[in-house]
C-alpha cells in the first residue's frame, strides 16, 4: 500500500503499527490533531480520539501497518464548532442579562400600577383584567430573575457521589411524571466521588432529565416511553481542546421523537425551545454549569433516540 495517496484526502488518516501506536499520519490528520507528523509518530492513539465520533477502524493484513484509522472531515470541525458555539452562547447570555436588568424596573412599575388600579376598580369583572396583568408581570419577573441568576461565576465545591444526585434527579422526575414513562438506571459503580458544586450539578442534570421526560410524555405515539440514565468513566477525554487524564460521562437517553432538525444547531441558545410551555433556559443553564466545571454538554438526536451527555473532568480519580 502506497501511503502517498492519503495526502490527497480531506479525511484524516492514521496508520497504526502492531502495538497500536501511530506509524503514519496524513496532512489532514496533522491539521485535525494539531500536531506534526513527527510528534504523532510513535504515540498511542487513544489520547487523540477524545471528543471525536464516527472514527472508522480497518484491520490490515499483508501490509507494513496493522490498522487504518479514518476520521471523516466533518469531525475536524467538531471541536472548533463546539468552541465557537459555546463562545456564542456565552455572549448571548451576557446580552440577555443586560437586557433583563433594563426590563426589571419598568416591569415592577407596571405591576405596581396594575395593583393600584385593581384596588380602585368597582367591579370584579374589571378586576379580572388587572389580575391578568399582575400574573403575567410576575411570570415575566421570574423569567428575568432566571436570566440574571447565572451571573454568579463562583462555584461551591464539595465532595460527593455522582449517583446520589442521579437518584435525586430520577426521584423528582418520577414524582412529577409518575408511571407515564419508565426510568432505567445503568450506573458504573467504579466511578469515584467527585468534587464539584453539588447543587448546581444537580440542577443541570435535573434540567436535562426533565427535558427528556417532557419530550416523552408530550409525544402520543411512543409505545414504551423510556428514559435511561447512564454513568461511565472516560479515559483521556478532550473537552474544548483541553485533554484530561480521566473524565466522567453522564448520559441521559430517551426513545422520544428527537430534537427537530431546525433546533439542533441552536438548542443551547437561551430562549430557544420546541415546547409551547417551555422557556428555553433549562439546557442553556445546564451548559453554563458544565462550562463552569471545565466540562461540556453535548447531544445527538434522531427520531427514536436522543442522547445528552454531561461531560466533566475527573482529575482526582
Q: Which of 105-119, 141-155, 239-253, 278-292 has the lowest mean pLDDT?
A: 141-155
Mean pLDDT of the residues in the chain: 81
Q: Which helix (H) or strand (E) holds 218?
A: helix 198-218
Give me 232's grid cell.
Answer: 461511565
CATH architecture assignment, domain 3-76: 2-Layer Sandwich (3.30)
Q: SS3 of 313, please?
A: strand
Q: Hey, where are the domains in the chain?
A: 3-76, 85-151, 158-313
Average pLDDT over residues 232-244: 76
Q: Please tell me the predicted confidence (pLDDT) of residue 15.
A: 93
Q: H-type helices in 52-197, by residue range?
A: 73-76, 78-120, 124-148, 162-177
Name the DSSP letter for residue 275. Answer: S
Tens-digit pLDDT profile for residues 42-74: 998 877 776 565 577 888 888 889 999 887 654
Contact 50, 79 (CB under 8 A): no
Average pLDDT over residues 69-87: 58
Q: What is the CATH number of domain 158-313?
A: 3.30.565.10
On whether the pTM is more than 0.75, the answer is no
pLDDT at 8 over 70: yes
Give me 70's grid cell.
Answer: 479514518
Amino acid at each position: 500500500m502506497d501511503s502517498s495517496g492519503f495526502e490527497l484526502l480531506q479525511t484524516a488518516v492514521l496508520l497504526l503499527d502492531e502495538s497500536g501506536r501511530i506509524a503514519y499520519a496524513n496532512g489532514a490528520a496533522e491539521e485535525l490533531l494539531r500536531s506534526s507528523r513527527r510528534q504523532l509518530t510513535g504515540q498511542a492513539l487513544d489520547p487523540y480520539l477524545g471528543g471525536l465520533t464516527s472514527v472508522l477502524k480497518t484491520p490490515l493484513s499483508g501490509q507494513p501497518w496493522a490498522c487504518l484509522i479514518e476520521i471523516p472531515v466533518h469531525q475536524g470541525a467538531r471541536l472548533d464548532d463546539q468552541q465557537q458555539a459555546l463562545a456564542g452562547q456565552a455572549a448571548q447570555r451576557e446580552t440577555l442579562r443586560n437586557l433583563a436588568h433594563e426590563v426589571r424596573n419598568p416591569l415592577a412599575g407596571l405591576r405596581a400600577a396594575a395593583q393600584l388600579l385593581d384596588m380602585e376598580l368597582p367591579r370584579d369583572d374589571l378586576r379580572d383584567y388587572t389580575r391578568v396583568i399582575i400574573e403575567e408581570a410576575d411570570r415575566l419577573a421570574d423569567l428575568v430573575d432566571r436570566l440574571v441568576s447565572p451571573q454568579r461565576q463562583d462555584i461551591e465545591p464539595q465532595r460527593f457521589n455522582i449517583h446520589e444526585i442521579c437518584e435525586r434527579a430520577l426521584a423528582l422526575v418520577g414524582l412529577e411524571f409518575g408511571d407515564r414513562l419508565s426510568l432505567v438506571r445503568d450506573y458504573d459503580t467504579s466511578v469515584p466521588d467527585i468534587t464539584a458544586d453539588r447543587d448546581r450539578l444537580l440542577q443541570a442534570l435535573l434540567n436535562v432529565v426533565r427535558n427528556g421526560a417532557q419530550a416523552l410524555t408530550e409525544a402520543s405515539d411512543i409505545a414504551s416511553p423510556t428514559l435511561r440514565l447512564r454513568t461511565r468513566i472516560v479515559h483521556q477525554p478532550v473537552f474544548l481542546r483541553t485533554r484530561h487524564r480521566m473524565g466522567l460521562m453522564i448520559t441521559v437517553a430517551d426513545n422520544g421523537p428527537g430534537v427537530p432538525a431546525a433546533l439542533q444547531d441552536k438548542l443551547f441558545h437561551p430562549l430557544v425551545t420546541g415546547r409551547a410551555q417551555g422557556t428555553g433556559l433549562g439546557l442553556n443553564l445546564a451548559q453554563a454549569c458544565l462550562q463552569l466545571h471545565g466540562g461540556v454538554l453535548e447531544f445527538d438526536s434522531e427520531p427514536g433516540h436522543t442522547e445528552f451527555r454531561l461531560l466533566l473532568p475527573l482529575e482526582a480519580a
